[in-house]
Structure 1
């Protein structure tokens, strides 16, 4: 399913959905961060997705990271909360979701790097390498908050 991200765009469609979600800044032993290039918008992003009934926020982040990247993680902290009503995602099925994401900090514990049906590519990057990657502003903000060490951020 395709997705268009809108950030403070007066032409954006009105949100009709609010769904709790987790994203994860996953860091390996070399200090690199795990990113995936999304199928739905072609941009680099953190692993993550919507929380399912019956799971915890940490469980959501662990599950989504494993499903989307093949990497197993332990949740070790909180980067921040991101609930900007000016950031909406419009999906092909008519859902327009307002951002509601809690960004966790994860430590890689195992697994094998692989793409999924949600990603074209999955790779590790040195933090400074992420500056040149195409990504939506909301993901860049999460990475910036993590890199600053000034978290948890509330946005």
Structure 2
């Protein structure tokens, strides 16, 4: 599973964010890939996917990252279902293969800055079994 940190900024004055605009379906050799907004029923799948990446982080940087703990990951993912936070899950067939966690941050304008609407992407994870299956040259 891979992890990416970053953010996406929408233009000033455009503060609306619709998580549904990130959802979709695509066809691949492995079947139909569905990306949809995660639901509370998906917490176990999200936590299982999170275990792999957390284990990699803890092995690589034990001074920064905690050991993977399925119960703690379930609790964390349960906390992601708020108006400001967005969790998307990628599924092929019945198998969850990845997720994206993001937070919508709106800031009012002030004497220094224009108002802004930022989608801060915290995690992008893809199961090892689903990596490197994209189509090159398309």
Q: TM range, normalised to the smaller chain?
A: under 0.3
Greater strand content: 1
Structure with max Cα Rg: 2
Kindly indicate which of the two structures has a greater share of residues assigned to helix: 2
Instruction: Compute the TM-score of the two structures, normalised by the length of structure 2.
Output: 0.26
Q: Taking structure 1 as the reference length, what is the TM-score of the superposition? A: 0.24
